[in-house]
Amino acid sequence: MQDKESSTISLTGPAIGLRGIAYYVGDSVPIEELSCMANDAALLERFKAAYFCNFSRSNISLPEQAVLSAQATLRKCGMQAGDIDAVVIGFSELREWTAYPEQLTSVILEGLGMNNIPVVGVTLAGCANVTSALRIARNMVIVDGYRNVLVVETNLLRNDSRRLSGAAPGQTPDNVFGDGAVSFVVTSDIDTADFDLLAMDQIVSFPEGDNITMQQEIATSTAASLRVIKRAIAHAGLAWEQINCVLLNNLNVVMMAGLLRLYGFTKTDFYIDNILRYGHVWSADGFINLHDYCEKKAPAAGTHFLLIGHGSTYYSATICRKRDRVHGAEQPGVKAINE
């Protein structure tokens, strides 16, 4: 079994920035509207006890979500389609997309007025997938010399029966999946950026052997998360206490509080508002929460954020730092599409 310390993603070289985070989510719907909840009072009570209230349900298609989010990002950056050098499209699942995967690309690019442009599709990493997309975009800037790479992560579940995780009797509820997309631009034009990208790490980790117990799965998950967190913080050149805000996937609130204690962030700020409104919007959670936290708290330049992603076997950590908005104030009407 491999046990190497070489998977931290090197961010040596030119400074890289992130700008224009925007998102689209579906309507905020009470969990009582799920048929399985309406027909099972005990199940509903278990999810309510875990602080689940609403989830986002989209009435538009997978690519339409991506287009609306990306359009908001471009407006927020004051960019046109021609200002984007490449696109990375991420998705955690395509179960409700019946056409060929490459046709998803065409629909998104057509909606954005783009053609004859490099595009990469990224999947496999589940609820840590946006980190994979960010890594690809960052490498396209560093290696290929692109100036601005648009990243879009979009996910949609049309079948409500698939929305619940941890629904079995006696099992602690994990999450309620919501629909939505998030987008941002990875740029080498650091003076225009909203955030400095300082470090990323991502691994696949799973318990080996037969008859794996829940305790073994939890131990493996916790150890994997701690591993990527420690390496990302070290690579960013930060002390643990310099992390000002930790942003997790939108999981069970009690579970999140426990994870923060396990990770040692007992005095660090966090954000749970979107769990109550949208549920778990796949890997888009982290950047949606980063956007909304900054809108609500207006953190000072220099604030350090740690975004933690949990897939079923993928674990990721991303560290970014808030920058001064030296390139001017945001224009009216270009906030994230969040209603």
What CATH number does the domain containing 214 carry? 3.40.47.10
Span 259-291, pLDDT tens digits: 899 899 988 999 999 999 999 999 999 999 999
Does residue 327 lie within any of the structural domains?
no
Does residue 337 lie within any of the structural domains?
no
Q: Specify whether 68 is located in the same domain as 184.
A: yes
Q: Specify whether 75 is located in the same domain as 176.
A: yes
Q: Specify whether 31 is located in the same domain as 168.
A: yes
Does residue 10 lie within any of the structural domains?
no
Query: How many Å apart are CA 50 and CA 68, to the nearest integer?
Result: 32
Q: Specify whether 128 is located in the same domain as 114.
A: yes
pLDDT in the model for residue 336: 41
Where are any strands of DSSP class E within 82-204? 86-90, 119-122, 148-155, 164-165, 175-176, 180-187, 195-204
Span 220-238, pLDDT tens digits: 888 999 999 999 999 999 9
Total count of residues recorded for the chain: 339
Does residue 278 lie within any of the structural domains?
yes
* Two tokens, residue 171: 């099992």
In this predicted structure, the answer to whether residue 208 has a pLDDT above a threshold of 90 is no
Q: Specify whether 202 is located in the same domain as 314.
A: yes
Tell me how many domains the chain contains: 2
- Which positions ≥6 away from 68 have C-beta within 8 Å? 24, 60, 181, 337
Task: Give percent above pLDDT 70 in the chain.
Answer: 91
- pLDDT bucket at 207, cuts 50 / 70 / 90: confident
- Which positions ≥6 away from 161 have C-beta within 8 Å? 35, 36
Q: Specify whether 187 is located in the same domain as 243.
A: no
In this predicted structure, the answer to whether residue 334 has a pLDDT above a threshold of 90 is no
Q: CA angle, corner 277, sides to 272 and 281, nearest 5?
A: 80
Domain end residue (candidates: 174, 191, 208): 191
Does residue 3 lie within any of the structural domains?
no
Q: Specify whether 62 is located in the same domain as 178.
A: yes
Q: Which residues form the domain of 111? A: 17-191
- From the centroid of its chain, how far is CA 3? 26
Q: Specify whether 242 is located in the same domain as 135.
A: no
Q: Specify whether 174 is located in the same domain as 228.
A: no
Q: Specify whether 200 is located in the same domain as 302.
A: yes
Query: How many Å apart are CA 264 and CA 163, to the nearest integer?
Result: 30
Query: How many Å apart are CA 313 and CA 207, to the nearest integer?
Result: 9
Cα distances from 85 to residues 79, 107, 314, 322, 331, in angstroms, run 12, 18, 29, 24, 23
- What stretch of H or E contains 10? none
Mean pLDDT, the chain, integer: 89
Q: Specify whether 185 is located in the same domain as 206.
A: no
- Poorest-pLDDT segment among 38-42, 103-107, 296-300, 317-321: 38-42
Does residue 330 lie within any of the structural domains?
no
Does residue 329 lie within any of the structural domains?
no
Q: Specify whether 27 is located in the same domain as 161.
A: yes
